Amino acid sequence: MSRRPNAAPGSQGIPEATIARLPVYLRVLYTCAEQGIATVSSEELAAAAGVNSAKLRKDLSHLGSYGTRGVGYDVDYLVYQVSRELGLTQDWPVVIVGAGNLGRALANYGGFASRGFRIAAVLDADPAVVGTEIAAGQVVGNSDAIECDRLVAAGVTSILNFAPVVLTVPVGVDVRKVDLSIELQILAFHAQRRSDVRVASGDKSHYRAGVGLAALAGSPGESVTAP
C-alpha cells in the first residue's frame, strides 16, 4: 500500500456524494477483512460497492489513499482510513427514543458496537413498556414525553429520524430522515418505467408477471442473493 506523505484526513473539502459512499465502501471492506482478504483492487472494491472504479479511486484520493499499482488497496489500512474519516474511531453514545418494533430491532442490532456506536439508553413514554428489558442489558427508561427540543437541550447534536414528521432544529444540529415508504415509492417509479403497463378494469394499472418490489431485511453480516 502506497501512502501519500503527510496526507491529511480531511473531511473539509470532501464532496457530500463521496461522504455518502464511504459507508458503502466500509461495509465491503469489512466483508473482505472477515474473509481474510488482505488486498483488494479498485475494480473489485468498486464492483462490490456498485460504483465504477474511476469514481472509487477519486473518492479514496480525498482520504489520501491511492493504493499500489498492480496490487490494490491494503484492506486493514483502508478500513482504518475510512473509519477515521467517518468518525468511527471514537465512541458514540446513542439514545433510541421509542421502544416499538423498530426501536427493539435497533436495540438488538449487533452491528452498532463494532462500528463505534454504543446504545446508551432506550426511552419510551408507554408505562407498559418502561422498565422492561428489550435487549441484553437494555432496560427501557421513561422518556417523560421527551421531544426534539429537549433532546437538543440535553446535548444531542445528531438525529436519525424514522418518524413521519419534519423536525425543525437549531443550527449545529444534523438531522437525517429515513422514510422507507418514500424509498419504496422511488423504487416503484423506476420499476414502472421499466415495465410494460396495461390498463385493466377499474382503471388500475397492472404490470407484467414477475415485476414487483422486495424489502431485504437480512441479519447483520448476512449476504442476500437473489434467486
Check if the beta carbon of residue 116 is closer than 8 Å to that of residue 89. Answer: yes
Find the helix packing angle between 53-61 and 16-34, rounded to 10°. Answer: 100
CA atoms within 13 Å, Cβ hemisphere of 147 = 6
Check if the beta carbon of residue 222 is closer than 8 Å to that of residue 110. Answer: no
The model carries a pTM of: 0.71
The per-residue pLDDT string of the chain (227 residues; one tens digit each, 9 = 90 and over) reads 333 333 334 445 899 999 999 999 999 999 999 999 999 999 999 999 999 999 999 999 999 988 888 889 999 999 999 999 999 988 899 999 999 999 999 999 988 887 889 999 999 989 999 999 999 889 999 987 677 788 888 889 999 999 888 888 899 999 999 888 888 898 888 888 777 555 555 555 555 555 567 766 665 445 444 44
- DSSP-based three-state secondary structure for 141: strand
